[in-house]
Structure 1
Amino acid sequence: MKRLSLLLLSPLMMQAAWAQDFVSEALLPKALLTHIDAGTKVRDFKTVDLNGDNLDDYLLVLERADGTRTLKIITKQTNGQLLLAKSNDAVVYCRDCGGAIGDPFDSISTKSKSFTVRHFGGSGYRWSVATTFNYSRRDQTWQLVRVEESEFHVQHPDQMERQIYTPPKHFGKIDFADFDPNDFKGRGEK
């Protein structure tokens, strides 16, 4: 009987752990709530000046029930309103895209006019990807500036292979909204 109750609790415990991955809407600025799409939950958000205007902007990661995710760039206007500036459905990998390790989404790090999305996954072979976008004042948008991919086998972590892709050698101008992690090499205006 004890074993049966553990088996029954296991899915509940897994669901509770999954629910802990989300950010409570109570922690978000109220004006940001209107940017949460119906049927999604907030997986992550960051506050940073993304366009150099000395106003707080936001990065908002939304997750749908099927595990797919959207990253939104929301900018604060001088009148205090929040405007959806850009959105991308591919830059943050889905919940099930990490292989045996599980959810590959690691983090988003930010600094003024720049952000990096990090992923980690695999099984015997582990991989990581860090994708960085910077704000272009000239083009008034966020553009891909660096993709760093790493791979190693767990039995040989000291034998890591690393590739770094940067413009203009590996790709040209790629707008955040147009970025596809599976199809960026050789793309974009140079």
Structure 2
Amino acid sequence: MTAQRAQHFGAVLMLFALGLPAEVSAGREPVVREALPAEWTRFVPDGQIVIAQARADLDLDGREDVLLVLEADREETKGNEPDDGPRRLLILRRDASGALQLAKQSKQAVLCRQCGGVMGDPFESVEAKKGSFTITHYGGSAWRWASRYQFNYSRRDQTWQLVYAEETSFHAGDPEKTEKQSVARPPKQFGKIAIDEFDPYDYRGKGAR
């Protein structure tokens, strides 16, 4: 990794979403309540906002499903809360009638605003494509880190399971010599881990094999 790449690593992760293939959907910009599609509003409680969304046929049934990431509305708290609390990832599955239903949710998969260290909010994006979605983070201070976690739909288990975890770290002062990358896949590093059971700080060695 070159020094220039290290300097712009966070921006590259953000821009990656813009260059995704057409079948991939990704989003990170907040969506104000007034602009929410009507079918989403019942899933977004008062005091919460949508900070990211992505759409794809997540459960392989030919219908478009929705991923939403929610957090506390900082406009309502005026930014005075010391901790915005956990963010929620919602998987909204479209049923045979065309209505969205809450299929799964996670309060751990997307890191909190304060979890990125000096670099600030670590959440980069959520990307969705047919039968799969990926969550990307980037943070740190002098020591930088990035992570990508991919979940695929299991028809057998009727849920989305972790199938790929990539974690990278390096020191900003000397990235070429300090870069470390770790890749984990099932079943060697972990077993079956559903999205609602996934903890990014504690997944290795977990899950039924």
Query: Which of 70, 81, 94 does residue 99 from structure 2 map onto?
Result: 81
TM-superposed CA distance for 1:21, in Å, is: 5.2
Q: Distance in 1 between matches of 2:116 and 2:85?
A: 12
Q: Distance in 1 between matches of 2:117 and 2:200?
A: 17
Aligned partner of 1:167 in structure 2 is 186
Q: Distance in 2 between matches of 1:157 and 1:25?
A: 41
Aligned partner of 2:195 in structure 1 is 176
TM-superposed CA distance for 1:81, in Å, is: 1.2
TM-superposed CA distance for 1:157, in Å, is: 2.0
Q: Distance in 1 between matches of 2:106 and 2:154?
A: 17
Q: Tell me whether 1:157 sits opposite 2:157 in the alignment.
A: no
Aligned partner of 1:10 in structure 2 is none
Q: What percent identity do the matched residue pairs reach? A: 44
Query: Which of 140, 146, 150 does residue 132 from structure 1 map onto?
Result: 150
> What SS does structure 2 have at the residue aligned with 1:63?
strand
Runs of 4+ that moved beyond 6 A: none
Which of structures 1 and 2 has the larger relative contact order (alpha carbons within 8 angstroms, sep 6+)?
2
C-alpha distance 46-27 of structure 1, shift in aligned 2 (>3 A): farther
* 1:133-152 deviations in Å (ceiling 9; x for gaps): 00011111100111110000
Aligned partner of 1:4 in structure 2 is none
Q: Distance in 2 between matches of 1:26 and 1:114?
A: 29
Aligned partner of 1:51 in structure 2 is 59
> What SS does structure 2 have at the residue aligned with 1:158?
helix
Query: Which of 18, 43, 49 does residue 35 from structure 1 map onto?
Result: 43
Q: Tell me whether 1:63 sits opposite 2:71 in the alignment.
A: yes
Contact 2:150 2:163 in 1 (8 A): yes
TM-superposed CA distance for 1:85, in Å, is: 0.2
Stretches of structure 2 lacking an aligned partner (at least 5 in a row): 1-27, 74-83
> What SS does structure 2 have at the residue aligned with 1:134?
strand
**What is the TM-score normalised by the length of structure 2?**
0.78
Query: Which of 116, 125, 133 does residue 98 from structure 1 map onto?
Result: 116
* 1:1-22 deviations in Å (ceiling 9; x for gaps): xxxxxxxxxxxxxxxxxxx952
Larger radius of gyration: 1
Q: How many pairs are equivalent?
A: 171
What letter matches 1:186 in structure 2? Answer: G
What letter matches 1:49 in structure 2? Answer: D
22-31 or 114-123, larger mean C-alpha shift: 22-31
**What is the TM-score normalised by the length of structure 1?**
0.86
Query: Which of 113, 118, 142 does residue 160 from structure 2 map onto?
Result: 142
* 1:8-51 deviations in Å (ceiling 9; x for gaps): xxxxxxxxxxxx95212344321111111232111111111100
Q: Tell me whether 1:111 sits opposite 2:123 in the alignment.
A: no
69-78 or 33-42, larger mean C-alpha shift: 33-42
Stretches of structure 1 lacking an aligned partner (at least 5 in a row): 1-19
